[in-house]
């Protein structure tokens, strides 16, 4: 039986990955900060699908948390075959409205943790000649959108670069770029969603299905859903100034929206 480690497993996209991979019969290592929620999730997935689900409480914005997950990924006796670097969050507000501490925390979780965990996993996967890493970025990687967009652009560039470096090793890496997904993300960040049209929302379970299909095809970049594929095609052609104006307004204003 193979094992997948998912960061940010307790909610939203990470929880959808956990449901899907458990249903496929994979054992899981579930990572997040809320131990009680992780334990409830592990019990439910074990009871429903008969898989083993380990709980690993870790805050990926601090060194101790990153080291704990790196150690688990490097454990040769209990190998991890699939790593889903999914933990992430949004900060409400434009540049200078968000505290420097919150900006730096975002870089730790979205970039440093992704770098360190990918490295820990890819090393032991290469020795075994197989494995997969999915790094959850965002379509925000392709538009000007402050630290969030910049951190996700880093995830895309990093992942595609490493995928190329590891070509032929049996280890696949893929950056996953969702559009708007109904999860706890916006509420946790205190972002209003009233101005986001209904057609732009994606379902987390469907998103995970297309992501795993893209990984199986060997893609290094996945933009699930034809609506967002078309939109990102237009983004490539649109003037940067226009894009920046639209993108930096959506969901980032302070105060009620």
Catalytic positions are 148
Determine, following the binding rule CB under 6 A, whether residue 247 of this chain makes contact with ligand NAP: no
Q: Which residues contact 15 (CB under 8 A, 6 or more apart)?
A: 9, 41, 204
Residue of the chain from 3, 4, 8, 225 that contacts ligand NAP (CB under 6 A): 8
Task: Considering only the stretches 48-56, 121-129, 177-185, 210-218, report the one whose residues sit in contact with ligand NAP under the rule CB under 6 A.
Answer: 177-185
How many alpha carbons fall within 13 Å on the CB side of residue 107? Answer: 8
Task: Considering only the stretches 59-67, 71-79, 94-102, 226-234, report the one whose residues sit in contact with ligand NAP under the rule CB under 6 A.
Answer: 59-67
> Which residue, 87 or 162, is less far from ligand NAP as judged by CB?
87
Considering the complex, what minimum distance in angstroms separates the CB of residue 64 from ligand NAP?
A: 11
Determine, following the binding rule CB under 6 A, whether residue 59 of this chain makes contact with ligand NAP: yes
The distance of Cα 63 from the centroid of its chain, to the nearest Å, equals 19
Q: Determine the Cα–Cα distance for residues 6 and 21; give it in Å rounded to an integer.
A: 10
Residue of the chain from 180, 215, 224, 228 that contacts ligand NAP (CB under 6 A): 180
> Which residue, 51 or 113, is less far from ligand NAP as judged by CB?
113
The distance of Cα 22 from the centroid of its chain, to the nearest Å, equals 18
Q: Which residues contact 164 (CB under 8 A, 6 or more apart)?
A: 220
Residue of the chain from 4, 5, 12, 215 that contacts ligand NAP (CB under 6 A): 12
Determine, following the binding rule CB under 6 A, whether residue 88 of this chain makes contact with ligand NAP: yes
Determine, following the binding rule CB under 6 A, whether residue 60 of this chain makes contact with ligand NAP: yes
Q: Are 156 and 221 in contact (CB under 8 A)?
A: yes
Task: Considering only the stretches 76-84, 184-192, 218-226, 243-251, report the one whose residues sit in contact with ligand NAP under the rule CB under 6 A.
Answer: 184-192
> Which residue, 125 or 181, is less far from ligand NAP as judged by CB?
181
How deeply is 237 buried, as exposed, middle or buried, from its count of CB atoms within 10 A (0-12, 13-18, 19+)? exposed
Considering the complex, what minimum distance in angstroms separates the CB of residue 140 from ligand NAP?
A: 7
Determine, following the binding rule CB under 6 A, whether residue 130 of this chain makes contact with ligand NAP: no
Determine, following the binding rule CB under 6 A, whether residue 33 of this chain makes contact with ligand NAP: yes
Binding positions for ligand NAP, rule: CB under 6 A: 7-14, 32-34, 37, 58-61, 86-89, 109, 136, 138, 178, 180-181, 183-185, 188
């Amino acid at each position: 039986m193979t094992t997948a480690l998912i960061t940010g497993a307790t909610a939203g996209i990470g929880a959808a990955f956990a449901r899907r991979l458990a249903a496929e019969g994979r054992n899981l290592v579930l990572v997040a900060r809320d131990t009680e929620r992780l334990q409830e999730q592990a019990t439910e997935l074990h009871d429903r699908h008969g898989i083993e689900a380990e709980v690993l409480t870790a805050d990926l914005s601090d060194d101790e948390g990153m080291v704990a997950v790196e150690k688990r990924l490097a454990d040769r006796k209990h190998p991890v075959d699939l790593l889903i670097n999914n933990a992430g969050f949004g900060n409400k507000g434009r540049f200078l409205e968000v505290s420097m501490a919150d900006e730096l925390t975002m870089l730790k979780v979205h970039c440093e943790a992704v770098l360190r965990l990918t490295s820990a996993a890819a090393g032991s996967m290469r020795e075994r000649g197989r494995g997969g890493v999915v790094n959850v970025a965002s379509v925000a990687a392709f538009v000007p959108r402050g630290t969030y967009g910049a951190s996700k652009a880093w995830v895309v560039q990093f992942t595609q670069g490493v995928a190329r470096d590891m070509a032929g090793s049996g280890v696949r890496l893929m950056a996953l770029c969702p559009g708007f997904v109904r999860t706890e993300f916006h509420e946790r960040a205190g972002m209003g969603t009233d101005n986001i049209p209904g057609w732009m929302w994606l379902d987390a379970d469907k998103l995970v299905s297309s992501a795993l299909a893209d990984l199986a095809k060997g893609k290094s970049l996945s933009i699930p859903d034809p609506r967002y594929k078309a939109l990102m095609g237009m983004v490539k052609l649109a003037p940067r100034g226009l894009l920046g104006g639209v993108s930096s307004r959506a969901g980032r204003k302070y105060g009620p929206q």
